[in-house]
């Protein structure tokens, strides 16, 4: 599922919707929100302080109606995440990057790399004093633009975390420049390099550059193909580098073209002799069973190497033998078996505890219902990927029974396939209705995804939208395919939802549903902002109406409290009690009025001329009864008045 912090939906400008007229500072007076028609408030004076957020933050929704066209909505997070597919949008992104030297975290997942993007990144690397994280593994930089990037990188001394694509290192000059950067860097602590194709030549330069590095603690290599030379350089790195704490080899595609296992035999002595490495990730197929026997025998005596993650391959010739050897060894506490894909059965639970499973109702339809029934007796499976044929009522009923009963499931992915002759189906049956009814009563699912078939009925999508909008537990939703019917229904009354934190779609947004699409996204952004502001108040970093009101809102919604606990790194069981303590300043009448902005210090009462009751007659018990129906957000904030109500200075 998409991270709620990172909405990977396409922006309207990427999907065929006509963008709004060009807006410059010269005509902002006439600028209005593309969907609400609200005035773009830009003349308000800045009210930001050491513990106070600027009042412009209350107008982010209107600004985002314009910013969404380039995928740059403003949120309460310290990172910029950009998803774009057309060059026009990328040009705007490049301008934005160049003008944001205070960025701390930048992630670009654009795929293709127009020349202006690496130029903007190079400029940012040369000028920034704050950028600590740069994640650009999706960018395919090449030629002179890649050279300029690595030249700028060598001069940078702010980055601590870097993720890039090996494609950018195809040129020898880039390999040399990057190796020198790694050799000399004293700030970089985490490096991830993804191969993304046949870019194995750059691997040696990365390994050589890190050989004498004294700052990088974590190295992750993804989808690389090792040859004899690069395998030897990796062994040297593990033998000689005394700084590296984590060494990870990952094959995200499962299509790696590794050589024979003997190619990696030279790594074993290096790992055994290394006295500083703490964490190791390797595919099981890299070593023969007898080599794993050696690892399991040595691990209990290694004081520093405490975490070893072994990615199993279901086609590994002696998988069961290695699993049994591990279970019977003293290394079992240090070794974790992992799987790349969702397992298709529960058989591996004998050897490893995995939390994800794929129930394939198309290829294994006879076993699918049995697996779903068994899941009700297993308390560690929290993610289920369900593949089902449209109209398969028997399997739908089994899935519905599982979803309605489980209290463990956190993530459910439903992949609906078109009809085949292998399964007896009745598309006129209520196969989808029973699934929706089960989702409506489920209280545990947080992430919900649907990859619908081409011919799935709009009414089915509308039903799903109703369930998600009304849910008190679904925080993240993903829909693949035409989303028109879904977002149109979802947008109805969506502002009353304080549960949804992330939405993600991967199909084009048609002009007629753009307003609804934005309403859904904007609500998810608002809810995440509420959690972020509540965390700032709870941690003492902000102390104003805007942030205490957010905590007050979070307190009333269970899933938001869970997110707050996660952000603050406290137990979910304790967060409600702690939140009640944090809200103490607005429990009383005086504190409430002060935070609401009604008074600066306290409310003073004058004798009533007609003898009628005033607020001062309310004791604490009576005020608490009033507070059941009154929140800070119910008191109008002066900064939320329309632009024409503000007569501040002209700053244009």
Mean pLDDT value across residues 573-602: 89
**Is 90 exceeded by the pLDDT of residue 601?**
no
Mention every residue, 6+ apart, whose C-beta is less than 8 A from residue 606.
none
**Is 80 exceeded by the pLDDT of residue 72?**
no
Mean pLDDT value across residues 100-128: 81
Mean pLDDT value across residues 451-457: 84
Mention every residue, 6+ apart, whose C-beta is less than 8 A from residue 50.
none
Mean pLDDT value across residues 573-584: 92
Using pLDDT thresholds of 50, 70 and 90, give the confidence band for residue 651. Answer: very low
Answer yes or no: are the C-beta atoms of 331 and 325 closer than 8 Å: no
Instruction: Quote the mean pLDDT of the chain.
Output: 83
From 530, 528, 519, 534, select the one nearest 500 (Cα to Cα). Answer: 528
Predicted confidence at residue 259, as pLDDT, reads: 67
For the stretch 471-502, pLDDT in tens is: 999 999 999 988 899 999 999 999 999 999 99
Predicted confidence at residue 284, as pLDDT, reads: 92
Mean pLDDT value across residues 441-453: 95
Using pLDDT thresholds of 50, 70 and 90, give the confidence band for residue 577. Answer: very high
Mean pLDDT value across residues 224-250: 94
Distance (Å, whole) CA 126 – CA 336: 42
pTM above 0.85, yes or no: no
Mean pLDDT value across residues 42-62: 71
**Is 80 exceeded by the pLDDT of residue 221?**
yes
Predicted confidence at residue 608, as pLDDT, reads: 76
Predicted confidence at residue 646, as pLDDT, reads: 41
For the stretch 352-384, pLDDT in tens is: 777 888 898 887 666 888 899 989 988 888 999
Using pLDDT thresholds of 50, 70 and 90, give the confidence band for residue 602. Answer: confident
450 beta partners: 414, 479
Distance (Å, whole) CA 620 – CA 626: 10
Domain boundaries, the chain: 160-340, 533-645
Superfamily of structural domain 160-340: Ribonuclease Inhibitor (3.80.10.10)
Predicted confidence at residue 110, as pLDDT, reads: 63
Mean pLDDT value across residues 333-339: 89
**Is 60 exceeded by the pLDDT of residue 278?**
yes
Predicted confidence at residue 272, as pLDDT, reads: 94
**Is 60 exceeded by the pLDDT of residue 81?**
no
Tell me which of 169 and 31 has the higher pLDDT: 169
Which residue in this structure is represented by tokens 């300043």?
585
3 state DSSP class of 387: strand
Instruction: Give the side-chain half-sphere CA count within 13 A for 97.
Output: 28
Distance (Å, whole) CA 200 – CA 185: 23
Answer yes or no: are the C-beta atoms of 228 and 263 closer than 8 Å: yes
Mean pLDDT value across residues 16-26: 48
What percentage of the chain exceeds 90 in pLDDT? 48
Predicted confidence at residue 643, as pLDDT, reads: 44
Mean pLDDT value across residues 396-408: 96
Long-range contacts at 230-234 (CB < 8 A, ≥ 24 apart): 230/200, 230/203, 230/204, 231/259, 231/263, 231/264, 231/266, 231/267, 232/266, 233/203, 233/204, 233/207, 233/208, 234/207, 234/267
Q: Which of 190-204, 220-234, 433-447 has the least mean pLDDT?
A: 190-204
Tell me which of 591 and 52 has the higher pLDDT: 591
For the stretch 412-430, pLDDT in tens is: 999 999 876 555 555 556 8
Tell me which of 260 and 392 has the higher pLDDT: 392
- Winning range, highest mean pLDDT, from 70-74, 357-361, 445-449: 445-449
Using pLDDT thresholds of 50, 70 and 90, give the confidence band for residue 10. Answer: very low
Distance (Å, whole) CA 553 – CA 549: 6
Distances (CA, A) of 597 to 152, 311, 541, 629, 632: 49, 57, 20, 19, 10
Using pLDDT thresholds of 50, 70 and 90, give the confidence band for residue 580. Answer: very high
Q: Which of 47-61, 276-290, 436-450 has the least mean pLDDT?
A: 47-61
CA dihedral 292, 295, 300, 302 (to 10 degrees): -160
3 state DSSP class of 549: helix
Predicted confidence at residue 103, as pLDDT, reads: 84
**Is 80 exceeded by the pLDDT of residue 410?**
yes
């Amino acid at each position: 599922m998409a991270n709620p912090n990172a909405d990977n939906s396409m922006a309207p400008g990427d999907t065929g919707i006509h963008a709004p007229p060009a807006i410059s500072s010269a005509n902002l007076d006439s600028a209005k929100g593309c969907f609400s028609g609200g005035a773009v408030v830009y003349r308000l004076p800045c009210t930001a302080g050491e513990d106070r957020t600027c009042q412009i933050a209350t107008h982010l929704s209107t600004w985002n109606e314009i910013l969404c066209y380039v995928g740059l909505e403003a949120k309460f997070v310290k990172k910029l995440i950009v998803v774009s597919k057309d060059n026009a949008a990328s040009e705007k992104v490049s301008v934005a990057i160049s003008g944001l030297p205070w960025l701390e975290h930048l992630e670009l997942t654009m795929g293709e790399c127009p020349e202006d993007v690496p130029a903007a990144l190079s400029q940012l690397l040369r000028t920034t004093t704050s950028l600590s994280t740069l994640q650009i593994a999706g960018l395919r930089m090449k030629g002179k633009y890649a050279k300029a990037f690595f030249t700028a990188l060598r001069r940078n001394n702010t980055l601590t975390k870097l993720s890039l694509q090996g494609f950018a290192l195809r040129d020898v000059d880039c390999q040399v420049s990057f190796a020198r950067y790694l050799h000399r860097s004293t700030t970089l602590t985490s490096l991830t390099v993804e191969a993304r194709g046949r870019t194995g030549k750059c691997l040696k330069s990365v390994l050589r550059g890190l050989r004498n590095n004294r700052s990088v603690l974590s190295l992750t290599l993804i989808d690389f193909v090792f040859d004899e030379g690069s395998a030897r350089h990796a062994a040297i790195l593990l033998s000689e580098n005394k700084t590296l704490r984590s060494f990870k080899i990952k094959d995200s595609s499962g299509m790696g073209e590794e050589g024979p296992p003997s190619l990696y035999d030279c790594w074993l002595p290096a790992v055994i002799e290394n006295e500083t490495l703490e964490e190791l990730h390797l595919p099981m197929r890299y070593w023969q069973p007898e080599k794993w026997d050696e690892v399991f025998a040595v691990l209990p005596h290694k004081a520093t190497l405490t975490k070893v993650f072994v990615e199993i391959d279901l086609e590994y010739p002696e998988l069961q033998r290695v699993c049994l050897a591990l279970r019977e060894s003293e290394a079992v506490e240090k070794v974790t078996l992992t799987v790349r894909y969702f397992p298709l059965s529960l058989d591996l639970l004998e050897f490893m505890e995995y939390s994800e499973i794929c129930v394939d109702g198309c290829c294994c339809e006879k076993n699918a219902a049995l697996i779903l029934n068994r899941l009700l007796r297993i308390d560690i499976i929290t993610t289920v990927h369900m593949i089902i044929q449209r109209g398969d009522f028997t399997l739908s009923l089994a899935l519905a029974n599982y979803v309605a009963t489980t209290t463990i499931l956190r993530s459910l992915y439903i992949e609906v396939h078109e009809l085949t002759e292998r399964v007896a189906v009745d598309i006129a049956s209520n196969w989808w209705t029973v699934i929706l009814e089960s989702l409506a009563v489920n209280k545990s699912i947080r992430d919900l995804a649907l990859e619908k078939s081409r011919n799935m009925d709009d009414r089915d999508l509308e039903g799903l939208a109703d369930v998600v909008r009304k849910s008190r537990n679904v925080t993240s939703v993903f829909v693949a395919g035409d989303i028109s019917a879904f977002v149109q229904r979802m947008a109805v009354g969506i502002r009353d939802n304080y549960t949804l934190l992330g939405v993600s779609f991967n199909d084009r947004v048609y002009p007629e549903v753009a307003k609804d699409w934005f309403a859904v996204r904007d609500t998810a952004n608002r809810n995440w902002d509420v959690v972020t502001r509540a965390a700032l108040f709870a941690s003492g970093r902000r102390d104003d109406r805007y942030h205490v009101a957010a905590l007050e809102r979070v307190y009333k919604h269970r899933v938001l409290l869970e997110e707050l606990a996660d952000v603050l790194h406290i137990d979910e069981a304790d967060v409600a009690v702690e939140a009640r303590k944090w809200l103490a300043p607005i429990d009383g009448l005086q504190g409430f009025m002060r935070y609401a902005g009604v008074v600066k210090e306290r409310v003073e009462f004058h004798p009533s001329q007609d003898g009628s009751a005033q607020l001062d007659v309310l004791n604490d018990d009576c005020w608490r009864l009033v507070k059941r129906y009154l929140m800070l957000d119910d008191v109008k904030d002066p900064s939320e008045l329309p632009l024409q109500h503000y007569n501040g200075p002209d700053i244009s």
